[in-house]
Amino acid sequence: MADVQQLQLHITEDQHLNTPKHATGVNQPPPKRKRHLQWWILVAINIFFLLAGQSVGTLLGNFYYEKGGNSKWMAALVITAGFPIFLPPLLFYHTSHTKPSTDAKFMTAPTVPTLAIAYISIGIVVGINSVMYSYGLLYLPVSTFSLICATQLAFNALFSYFLNSQKITPLILNSILLLTFSASLLAVHSESTDSRRLSPGKYIFGFLCTLGASAMYALVLALTQLFFEKVMKKESLYVVLEMQFYPAAVATGVCVVGLFASGDWKGLKGEMEGFGKGRVSYVMTLVWTAVSWQVCSIGCLALIYEVSSLFSNVISTLGLPIVPVLAVFFFHEKMDGVKIVAMLLALWGFMSYVYQHYLDDSKSKVTRDNVNEVSHASA
Predicted local confidence at residue 303, as pLDDT: 92
Ordered by start, the domain boundaries in the chain are 53-94+106-366
pLDDT greater than 90 at residue 82: yes
> What tens digit of pLDDT does each residue of 157-215 get?
888 888 888 888 888 888 888 888 877 776 666 554 444 556 778 878 888 888 898 89
Burial of 112 (0-12, 13-18, 19+ CB in 10 A): exposed
> What tens digit of pLDDT does each residue of 1-40 get?
444 445 444 444 444 444 444 443 333 433 333 457 888 8
Higher per-residue confidence, 12 vs 69: 69
Share of the chain above pLDDT 90, in %: 24
Query: Structure pTM?
Result: 0.76
Predicted local confidence at residue 331, as pLDDT: 64
Higher per-residue confidence, 272 vs 58: 272
- Tell me the range of 88-102, 195-209, 219-233, 242-256 where mean pLDDT is highest: 242-256
- Tell me the range of 59-68, 125-134, 225-234, 341-350 where mean pLDDT is highest: 125-134
Predicted local confidence at residue 1, as pLDDT: 47
Nearest Cα neighbor of 130 from 245, 295, 299, 247 is 247
Q: How confident is the model at residue 77 (pLDDT cuts 50, 70, 90)?
A: very high
CA distances from 315 to 29, 31, 100 (A): 23, 26, 37
- Out of 75-89, 119-133, 328-342, pick the least confident: 328-342
Predicted local confidence at residue 295, as pLDDT: 95
Nearest Cα neighbor of 320 from 346, 281, 344, 299 is 346
Q: How confident is the model at residue 301 (pLDDT cuts 50, 70, 90)?
A: very high
Could you give the CA distance from residue 228 to residue 181 in angstroms, rounded to a whole number?
31
Contact 80, 125 (CB under 8 A): no
Predicted local confidence at residue 374, as pLDDT: 62
Q: What integer is the mean pLDDT of 228-244?
A: 79
Could you give the CA distance from residue 11 to residue 308 in angstroms, rounded to a whole number?
21
Q: What integer is the mean pLDDT of 348-377?
A: 72
Nearest Cα neighbor of 327 from 315, 339, 318 is 339
Could you give the CA distance from residue 198 to residue 66 in angstroms, rounded to a whole number?
18
Contact 184, 93 (CB under 8 A): no
- Out of 179-193, 215-229, 244-258, 301-315, pick the least confident: 179-193
- CB half-sphere exposure, 4, CA atoms < 13 A: 9
Contact 141, 62 (CB under 8 A): no
Could you give the CA distance from residue 293 to residue 77 in angstroms, rounded to a whole number?
11
- CB half-sphere exposure, 310, CA atoms < 13 A: 26
The conformation of residue 27, written as its DSSP 8-state character, comes to G
Per-position DSSP letters for 125-168, written without gaps between them: HHHHHHHHHHHHHHHS-HHHHHHHHTTHHHHHHHHHHHHS----
